[in-house]
Structure 1
Amino acid sequence: MKTFQVVAQHLNMTKAAKILGYTQPTITLQIQVLERELGHSLFTRIGKNTFLTPAGKKLQIHTDKLFNVVEELERDLEELNGPSGRLSIAASEYYCSHYLSILVNAYINLHPQVKLKLIPSNSLDVIEKILSNEADIGIIACECNHKDIESHVLGEERAVLVVAAEIFKDNTKEKILEKYPFLAFHGNCSFDTLIKQCFSEMDYRPASIIEFGGSDETIRRAVLNQTGIALLGENVIKEELANGLLVPLHYCTQTIETSLIYLKTRTEGATINSFSDLLKDAWVATT
């Protein structure tokens, strides 16, 4: 089944043999045995290309599910001995670089047998990564009411519309709102509702909008480079506000909630629980 999974993923017997450490004839023989056992052909060739048959496509779905369950079982059994194995944490680029790096060092000192991985992602992507098991723990700056996800609020911060001090020095607030573009995240983002709330409070309709891919760190740098104005969490720009590089134009009445999330099915995991406990205890101190 593992041989089939690798061949189905790469659709190349030679590559699968190299990955699995087998000879190509061994790979071919294993697939033939599996096809005889199931009574269906799993692969077909058109010219030099290999494709999955309808039976192969169905088997691939179930094989992926099977090995996900096996991996979850192995992880659960490992955790009976305490924190161990791998732990993936998804969060914004800002959280990864400014806060989690500190907590990760503290956690590794407590549990050196755990291998940690940080995955920079925006909040909506973090939720998807938790649901798909690409990440074990997530930190988001939005609400999450999914029935399968456990959520714990870590803290709150104000959302502030800001502009570079150099722009503010030569323009009135009204002129800035009229002249400069609003910098937004590309596509759907966790800030959409907050942005609408801010615009409503200010009776503001931006003349133009520039969309950016990436994270709040990308938007922060763009504002500092005098590209336009943006709505950001106060913690992300606290240093720039303190030293006068950025100037607040409006503080939104709706706050940003930062939350820790993970799957409810994994609430008993020693590795997740140990990191979550450290995160809850230390978050206020690090922010």
Structure 2
Amino acid sequence: MELRNLKTFQVVAEELNLTKAAKRLGYTQPTLTLQIQSLEKELNHTLLTRIGKKTLLTVAGKKLKGHVDQIFGLIEEMEKEMEELHGPSGILTIAASEYYCRHHLLPLINTYMEMYPHVRVCLLPLNSVHAIQSVKDHVADIAVIASDCNEMDIKQTFLEEEQTLLVVSSDIYKEQSPEEIFSQYPFISYDKDCSFSTIIDQYFRKREQQPQSMIVVGGSDETIKRAVLNGNGYAILGENVIKKELTDGSITILQQVPEPITTSAINLKVRTEEPNIQTFNTFLQKAWGGTEGQVHCP
């Protein structure tokens, strides 16, 4: 039984129109008809029937269509796996926060694609909570997150650890003591969807004291930094995010926060050996330290 004849039958069964099927396959209609007749003779079953102007599948044709779809599905999977043995190729989808995308991944992608020109990278801006779920759902191949992921089916690759700091505008610090700041100013926080909120919760739980009031500004550390500079309150931020402001003296450290930000790349364990994931993880580990270490909506 020739695969060529089976493929012709599959297309005819999909189109149920000999003219369209012939055009799609690049055959003449007589050639297509001969191939179908050859297949019917070999199987000793009529596969197609006509009712008026309509072409329909017979019972045998419907059964054969199911088997043929499975056969060509397996062939496509086989060809894909064989192609992957030649090296990375196709689409690599990476989920990460907008800040990670902008300050870490975008500077690295061109270099990676120069090394592996057959790979096309797709960035998916998501915070860590949603990025983890995207990997589990096979929407993303890899995610860069700013939190721990202790799930059994996830492989976590360490990239960076960053000190977290409780900070306030230096203008406020000059006029108020830390106790006065804590009692008179609100705490500026990430929303609960960001994994960074876990660090905040742990900090206040250990202090056994909650903020007098709170402003939730979403998931952007840039927005929180601007709110601190504007004197809206105090906040917990990653050291790298405020490196410039610490240097120029516009932001003052109130306390060091014990829990650091841990940045990692994650992927499903069963997919670790796939060429795209394997090569990008290796590349990311080597290159991450050379990009600006900052975090946005962990």
Q: State if a TM-score over 0.5 links the two structures.
A: yes
- Whether 1:252 and 2:262 are equivalent positions in the alignment is no
What SS is found at the alignment partner of 1:109? Answer: helix
Distance 1:266 1:252, change over 3 A: same
Shift of 1:279: 0.6
CA contact (8 A) 1:76 1:269 kept: no
Deviation string for 1:162-214 (max 9, x for gaps)?
Answer: 12223223322222111221122223431233213322444432111122233
Distance 1:145 1:251, change over 3 A: same
- Whether 1:280 and 2:285 are equivalent positions in the alignment is yes
How far apart are the structure 1 equivalents of 2:222 and 2:98? 7
How far apart are the structure 1 equivalents of 2:79 and 2:265? 24
Shift of 1:283: 1.8
How far apart are the structure 2 equivalents of 1:236 and 1:74? 46
Matches within 5 A, 1:26-175: 76-175=81-180
Shift of 1:264: 1.2
What is the letter of the counterpart of residue 161 of structure 1?
Answer: L
Distance 1:73 1:214, change over 3 A: farther
CA contact (8 A) 1:161 1:249 kept: yes
Deviation string for 1:64-99 (max 9, x for gaps)?
Answer: xxxxx9998886554222111111211222222212
Provide structure 2 residue ranges, at least 5 long, that are not aligned to the other structure.
1-53, 64-73, 294-298
What SS is found at the alignment partner of 2:259? Answer: coil
Distance 1:216 1:120, change over 3 A: farther
How far apart are the structure 2 equivalents of 1:222 and 1:238? 16
1:212 equivalent in structure 2: 217
Provide structure 1 residue ranges, at least 5 long, that are not aligned to the other structure.
1-28, 39-68
- Whether 1:187 and 2:211 are equivalent positions in the alignment is no
1:271 equivalent in structure 2: 276
Distance 1:282 1:241, change over 3 A: same
Identity of aligned residues (%): 46
How far apart are the structure 1 equivalents of 2:216 and 2:81? 42
Matches within 5 A, 1:221-232: 221-232=226-237
How far apart are the structure 2 equivalents of 1:113 and 1:99? 22
In our comparison, the structure showing a higher alpha carbon Rg is: 2
Shift of 1:113: 2.4
The alignment yields a C-alpha RMSD, in angstroms, of 3.3
What is the letter of the counterpart of residue 237 of structure 1?
Answer: I
What is the letter of the counterpart of residue 220 of structure 1?
Answer: K
How far apart are the structure 2 equivalents of 1:268 and 1:173? 51
TM-score (structure 2 length as normaliser) = 0.67
What SS is found at the alignment partner of 2:132? Answer: helix
How far apart are the structure 2 equivalents of 1:255 and 1:151? 17
What SS is found at the alignment partner of 2:258? Answer: coil
Shift of 1:139: 1.1
Q: How many residues are treated as equivalent by the alignment?
A: 230
